Amino acid sequence: MKEDIKVLRQLFALYAKNNRSTIVFCVLANLFTGVKSYLPVMMLGVLVDELLDGAAFADLIRTLAIWLAVIFVVNTVANILRQQFDARMENILERQNLDMNEAGMAMDYELLENAQVQEKKRRQEQVVSRWGGIYWMLIWPFDDILQGLFGLITVLCVVVPLFVRIAGSSMAGFGLLSVGLIAFLLACVWKMYRWGIRTNEQTKKDDDALAGLSRSRDYFLQSVLSGTESGKDLRIFAQEDLVEEGVCGNEEAIGKCWRAMEKDRLVMRAKRESVSAFDTGCIYLYTALCAWAGLISIGSVVRCAGSVLQCVQDINLLMIGIGAFKNAAGFGRDYLDYMNVKNPLYKGSLPVEKRRDDRFLVEFAHVSFKYPGSETYVLRDLNLSLDIGERCAIVGRNGSGKTTFIKLLCRLYDVTEGIIKLNGIDIRKYDYEDYLRLFSVVFQDYRIFSLKAGENIAAGEDVDEERAWDALTRVGLKERFEELPQGLDTFVGKEFDESGVNFSGGERQKMAIARAIYKAGAFVIMDEPTAALDPVSECQVYAGFDKMVGRKTAFYISHRLASCRFCQDILVFDNGNVVQRGSHEELVVQEGLYRELWEAQAQYYTV
């Protein structure tokens, strides 16, 4: 219980950070709605009493007019407040998406590959599709609880004075009857609360089971069947059966789970309504007895009878709201875990030295690394010193650790053992953002978005056109873009604009290189940058590489050894370490992996 309250408090704090006004409107709307529901009943009671007391007709009309005016004003204010609240609730899901996106963007890269963190995110996506999202699960019970609470407060204001009068009356048995009735009503409320809790616990269990069962379906629907990427493979390899099994495989078990959840809810509703009906009957009987004994006026009977119905509804709302709050707390834990996940990387505050000549000394000292959650070392006791401002090629077999080396240099991960230094200082001590600014990287799995080409190249909405054209010129895309009527404003793909262009794989790769050049980091890193390029384009990239990267330090990972010949320094990776280093001319005459790889490739070029 205490834990649940803590979770709910934190969820409210997260939600309120950007939505304080929704909460204010919710409180005010319910305050007025609570009062509004009882006003007609109270008015009727007052009028009946005045009639029975023989009030003059004019006085009756005046009383009626005052009450109607009050009811009108309260109703209008209540409606305006509720409309304001509802309008704010409309974008509640967007709010959650924005908050989750913000948290995701602030996460260290390695958390994006962390299975536990990603599972929590996936669970939230399920909560969205099944319950409308965690904020929705939080605010609607809040709304119900407030409505029930304010309603109850109002009814108590009406009923308690009467009740005190009855309980204190000298008529035999009525005091005891009143206390007995209260005790009985409280016992009913408690029972309903317990039922609600039990149903919610069961719902959470069913939902967890459902999450496990629908994992495969969600994967296929969200990752495989959405978008066009998988379309070709699915058709060529006739993978319909595989997909159908993935999507429909657990259909029966999922359906059973849903039916169980529906049944629980139905039983709960039936129990709650039976108890409410019984409570109402008891209170009516009690009121009738009081009136019969002459303890309350006819007007009070009217007031009581009307209030009782409302009161039973309010208690129901309160119970439903409290149960739903408990439900929200259960799901909210995962959400908070995701939103509050601690970034693993230590981030220093040292600014990176700004060098006009872009020359930096990089040093790997006894660096070993294994991926989080893995027991296998991918890099082992790597020692390297790179006095750069030069071209450095990285070659080696698949899986030898080349990309991992780059990821460590860019601090997407921290080393497991050893130290990486930039200009003699541990890279962990540098301000993280400042450090990342040094790198312009084209990863193998780069992504060009369906936005304007200029925005892709500038990696943002502010496009420095001169710089963008310069980058396009360097990668050989200038003419291609000059032919396009919208130039840099041309959309990549047709998702957002019919006149967008489906650029080829090679053109997209060139754009990714142009983005790296535009960023103008001190290090230009390219991981297989020419894999999608035709031989002529590839040749252009090599030939223009010096011009392309200017005076920057460049790392160049490639399987095509011929493309590395223009680099003065070649690092040969094998099994997580650098086994050879030197220029092409030096390495090709040495016994070793480089010559092996070179000869393996060269044989395809000899006729």
The residues of the shown chain that bind ligand ADP, judged by CB under 6 A, are 113, 371, 374, 378, 396, 398-404
Least spacing, CB of residue 555 vs ligand ADP, in Å = 12
160/162 Cα distance (integer angstroms) = 5
Task: Return the amino acid letter for 556.
Answer: Y
The residue among 158 and 395 lying less far from ligand ADP, judged by its C-beta, is 395
The residue among 129 and 343 lying less far from ligand ADP, judged by its C-beta, is 343
The residue among 52 and 112 lying less far from ligand ADP, judged by its C-beta, is 112
546/361 Cα distance (integer angstroms) = 20
The residue among 289 and 386 lying less far from ligand ADP, judged by its C-beta, is 386
486/503 Cα distance (integer angstroms) = 14
**Is residue 9 classed exposed, middle or buried when 0-12, 13-18 and 19+ CB atoms within 10 A define those classes?**
exposed
CB atoms near residue 266 (< 10 Å): 10
The residue among 246 and 401 lying less far from ligand ADP, judged by its C-beta, is 401
What does the block give as tokens for 7?
A: 């979770």
405/369 Cα distance (integer angstroms) = 9
The residue among 109 and 496 lying less far from ligand ADP, judged by its C-beta, is 109
Q: DSSP characters for 408-429?
A: HHTTSS--SEEEEEETTEEGGG
Least spacing, CB of residue 580 vs ligand ADP, in Å = 15
Least spacing, CB of residue 403 vs ligand ADP, in Å = 3
165/170 Cα distance (integer angstroms) = 10
Least spacing, CB of residue 104 vs ligand ADP, in Å = 17
**Is residue 40 classed exposed, middle or buried when 0-12, 13-18 and 19+ CB atoms within 10 A define those classes?**
middle
Least spacing, CB of residue 392 vs ligand ADP, in Å = 15
The residue among 286 and 413 lying less far from ligand ADP, judged by its C-beta, is 413
DSSP state of 484: S
CB atoms near residue 240 (< 10 Å): 10
**Is residue 607 classed exposed, middle or buried when 0-12, 13-18 and 19+ CB atoms within 10 A define those classes?**
exposed
Count of residues making up the chain:
607
Contact by Cβ (8 Å): 422, 397: no
Least spacing, CB of residue 448 vs ligand ADP, in Å = 21
The residue among 383 and 504 lying less far from ligand ADP, judged by its C-beta, is 383
Of 82, 142, 144, the C-alpha closest to 317 is 144
